[in-house]
Amino acid sequence: MIGTSTAEYIFIRGCILILHNIAPASLLYTALLLSPLPTSLSIHSLPLPVKAWLVAEATFFTVFFLPYKYYLQSPAIHPELPSREGRAELFERCNATVEDPEEYLSQWFLGAQKEHIKRDNVKEFVRWAFLNSEQAKSENEDEVEGYVDGMEKLLGRDILPGKGGAKSLRLTVDKVDCLHRSLLWYFCVWVVDTITYLSMLYSGFHFHRASLKRFFMLFPFRPLTVFSTYRSPVKHLTYWHRPHLSKDRLPILFIHGIGIGLYPYTEFLRNLKPVGRDDREVGIIALEIMPVSSRITHPALEKDVMVREIQAILKYHGWSRFVLVSHSYGSIISTHLLKSPLTAPLIGPIVLIDPVSFLLHLPDVAYNFTARQPVRANEYQLWYFGSKDIGVAHSLARSFFWSQNIMWREDLGVAGADGDKGRDVTVVLSGRDLIVDTKAVRRYLAASLSDGGIPNKAQGCMTNGNRKASITKARKQETGAWTGGKFTGSGLEVLWFEHLDHAQVFDSETTMRAVGKAIGAYSAKV
């Protein structure tokens, strides 16, 4: 993630201006090229390669993008609802961690004032959030009314009757809001992918490709992968594998976030080399999640399909236990792995870097990623190159079901207050994260540490003084600050980088080393 300086702002706005206007410029050129008017003759002075490129861009926009964008608007297939008791429990659990109810409600309604958010507006939002429904159904209306009553209790006031002008953010029923990507952009993606491919090979990884029959299911095409002699044992997922040779260390499963695939992590993975006492290398599997990697490909996999494919990959390589490491969107997949009986028993220690899955019922992640109007350079980068990408926009608008994706502390399986042995977990957070309210996540984890479970409603509304008392103050140093002052490798620990933004932990050797220290220690817990 870039910073917020004036120079970076000018750079990112310039890149967006050029890339976003390739399509209209190409359409205009092609129209003039086909025009019989004499004034169009001057356009023939362009070199032939430039002419061919502009015509190709215009064709790509009209023949592919426009119909594909229409196709992407197909409604989401929502997962099966939990029981009514389960829904009520989820509602109460969410309310227990809301610290500012008025801000919570306003942000879900895109910053609307409370007088514009009336009872029918809230009912509409509740139907989506807890019933996966866009329309009112008579059999559920008493339940919806009960949730609105609960919202009034949380707010400490009555919600005005009727329907106001506010519009709520409802990811899986709102339109898929994406922007065109030019062939030039996909050429840049191909260049980055090629660099990543060569870099990973140089670092000792082997690429496990999909079936050759699926070569044309991914764009831009990856001709280098055809020559790989290693084949993925599953239909969709491709991945990079470094063989696990150590007998006294755990291997590592790495899941990346939204962006351009594994490119931002190549140095991190290259230097992630904890070595056992037998001086043999620790294995790594780095998955490729292509629907959120600036590619045109299949839709995001359903939760159960993703879990089964990962389990099959682990079984193929003979892994019976591993360290789970994920970044950003990868924490969503980590949540599914932790909740599945197929994979949960295989997961040892965990490192979650910039996770987006904690407190997912709060509006920050959904609003900041999909609805916020960008102002600063980093916000424009996230907006154009992240949320408006075709694959990312579709994945979030049609496959991102928050109640499935949310991670509660007990899902981690950390040792409880009764002394039961559980997993060791490190959560890496950045103080200037532009997507996640990391301070709220930090308070949630700190409160959980203090009582061995999720905070109750009273704890969710602690005073500022109580919150500060529950957390060790962060030391301002490049290596980050651990909640307990130092890394112990036991229980749940938070590594806090006060001055970093989302994903910037991968920009510095010092910060990567601090995260790698935890991973190396966890790998030793065979």
What's the CA angle centered on 16, arms 18 and 75, to 5 degrees? Answer: 120
Segment 201-227, tens digit of pLDDT = 999 999 999 999 999 999 999 999 999
CA distance 407 to 361: 10
Residue position matching structure tokens 């070569």: 215
CA distance 218 to 424: 37
What interhelical angle do 119-131 and 141-155 show, nearest 10?
Answer: 110
Q: Where are the domains of the chain?
A: 6-71, 84-155, 203-523
Cis peptide bond prior to 220, omega within 30° of 0: yes
Provide the pLDDT for residue 471: 36
Task: Kindly report the length of the chain.
Answer: 526
190 is written with which tokens? 């191909």
**Cβ 259 vs Cβ 386: under 8 Å:** yes
Segment 247-271, tens digit of pLDDT = 889 999 999 999 999 999 999 999 9
**Cβ 426 vs Cβ 352: under 8 Å:** yes
DSSP letter for each residue of 442-490: HHHHHHHHHHTS---HHHHT--HHHHHHTSPPPP--TT-EETTSS--SS
Count Cα atoms within 13 angstroms, Cβ side, for 335.
22
* Superfamily of domain 203-523, CATH level 4: Alpha/Beta hydrolase fold, catalytic domain (3.40.50.1820)
| Cross-strand pairs, 426 | 351, 493
Segment 52-90, tens digit of pLDDT = 999 999 999 999 999 999 999 999 999 999 999 999 999
CA distance 19 to 26: 12
Segment 318-355, tens digit of pLDDT = 999 999 999 999 999 999 999 999 999 999 999 999 99
SS3 118: coil
φ/ψ (deg, to 5) at 295: -120, 165
Record the pTM: 0.92
**Cβ 353 vs Cβ 505: under 8 Å:** yes
